[in-house]
Amino acid sequence: MRFDTLDAWLAWQEQLNPAEIELGLERVQVVLQRMGLLTPDFTVITIAGTNGKGSSAAMCQSIYCTAGYRVGSYTSPHLQRYNERITLNGVMADDVTLCDAFEQIEQARSADGDEIPLTYFEFGTLAAIVIFQQASVDIAILEVGLGGRLDAVNALEPDIALVTMVDVDHQTWLGDDRETIAREKAGIYRAGIPAICAEPAPAHSLVAYAVDIGAQYYGLNDQFTYGLNQGAGISAGDGTWHWHSARQSYAALPPLGLPGGFQLQNAAGVLMAITLLQARFPVELSAIETGLKQAHVAGRMQQIALDDFNGVECLFDVAHNRSSAQVLSDTLAAQPCVGTTHGVIAMLADKDIEAVVAAMSPVVDRWYVASLDASVCHRGATAAMIIPSLPAAGSVSPPQSFANVATATAAALKNSMADDRLVIFGSFYAVAEAKTFFQDIGCCEAN
């Protein structure tokens, strides 16, 4: 089968297997076997976790690209273009490359009349592997889509497995408590392979699994540590930080390019991975420093300048669960707004709306509640579903409901004055709609 456009391929994939999520490795492994890609020629760094996966992948990619290696990165979901999911040295795969990869996968999955019913995500995962193999990358950074143990990304054997912070999310597929979910995330660990956890207090199930299978476990605050620099000879608050392991130490690393103090925890896990691969892929300190400063992730504490709106501060964040919303709230509280903070929220119906609202309520003064477009996302919550979770007191005005994020954002801007802040959050869909809105009104910095 062959389609002429990427949109046609993607539409067909969504119809091929009606299950939006169907966990399991066998389908992908069969297709990889048919394509001779079960053991590709590149080194694999697999990253799982509830929050911090995308940031960790971005920092890892930036460091290795700066060091001169050829790097492929596979992340999900995308904000505006599917191409964002697969990059080569930070450059998105083009439509032709993706269509060619999809055609190869279709031929393999349908070989000998034995069709493998792949999901949309499985097609994308396989496409990334095909593209990285064809591009002869040195390193492939693969971000797990959901969980770990049964996620399509886990069909490849990792050379390094990194788990970031674990919290309760995706309960329908992963379990109702943190211990159960952490065990699913730990499923990317392998016997004899470095298994990193970048969380200071990991779930017992994660550590126990790593020990039980004989993985080479490296835990934050045990096998590696980090902290902000203070004391004699160092200017307090200058943002420099240190990192230490038995193999390597860095005394004065520069502030990160990604905003938010919580990113140091993600960076610490990345440095452990870089250190463990030094014999195979040497990286100089200068490349680490530059890579950490230049790393960028769209939609995470992403700020844009609104010159046409009296200099109102505006930022996007895809925070969509309790822990990510708390991190966003803490970051905003640490950088207080002189004026009013206007919050535009739109979420998926299967997320913990009450927890996200509770985390953000201390830093939001006026609420603009938007429905997500059901034609784009059938899991989207309506504004009427979100409003009951909003605080009964504390806001400067009653919450307002809107049909979509664009109209909510327009209303928030209309009500904003100099020194006010506009925060758009709640889901990847919310951020994508907001970015499109700002692009449509000519705000190029929303790109």
- Whether residues 285 and 306 fall in one domain: no
For the residues 405-410, what does the mean pLDDT come to?
95
The domain boundary residue, chosen from 294, 319, 338: 294
Measure the CA–CA gap between 446 and 171, rounded to whole angstroms: 33
344: helix, coil or strand? strand
Query: Is 211 part of any domain?
Result: yes
pLDDT band at 440 (very low <50, low <70, confident <90, very high): confident
> What pLDDT score does 447 carry?
43
Does residue 198 surpass a pLDDT of 90? yes
pLDDT band at 446 (very low <50, low <70, confident <90, very high): very low
The domain boundary residue, chosen from 268, 294, 320: 294
Percent residues over pLDDT 70 in the chain: 91
- Whether residues 197 and 306 fall in one domain: no
List, for residues 103-120, the tens digit of each pLDDT value: 999 999 998 778 898 999
- Whether residues 190 and 46 fall in one domain: yes
22: helix, coil or strand? coil
Query: Is 1 part of any domain?
Result: no
- Whether residues 70 and 19 fall in one domain: yes
- Whether residues 213 and 238 fall in one domain: yes
pLDDT band at 18 (very low <50, low <70, confident <90, very high): low
Element (H, E) at 224: strand 224-228
> What pLDDT score does 228 carry?
93
**Could you write out the DSSP letters of every residue in 428-441?**
HHHHHHHHHHHHHT
Does residue 235 surpass a pLDDT of 70? no
Measure the CA–CA gap between 10 and 214, rounded to whole angstroms: 40
- Whether residues 306 and 405 fall in one domain: yes
The domain total for the chain is 2
Measure the CA–CA gap between 84 and 80, rounded to whole angstroms: 8
The token pair that represents 208 in the structure block = 């126990």
The domain boundary residue, chosen from 277, 294, 311: 294
For the residues 96-106, what does the mean pLDDT come to?
96
Does residue 371 surpass a pLDDT of 60? yes
Domain range enclosing 93: 6-294
- Whether residues 23 and 59 fall in one domain: yes
The token pair that represents 445 in the structure block = 């910095």
Query: Is 87 part of any domain?
Result: yes
- Whether residues 323 and 200 fall in one domain: no
- Whether residues 198 and 327 fall in one domain: no
Does residue 445 surpass a pLDDT of 60? no
Note whether 380 and 318 are within 8 A (CB).
no
Q: Report helix angle 26-35 to 95-109, nearest 10.
A: 100
For the residues 8-36, what does the mean pLDDT come to?
85
- Whether residues 271 and 314 fall in one domain: no
List, for residues 51-96, the tens digit of each pLDDT value: 899 999 999 999 999 999 999 999 999 999 999 999 999 999 999 9
Instruction: Work out the number of other CB atoms within 10 angstroms of the CB of residue 237.
Output: 9
> What pLDDT score does 146 carry?
83
- Whether residues 361 and 344 fall in one domain: yes
Q: Which has the closest alpha carbon to 105: 128, 127, 138, 85?
A: 127
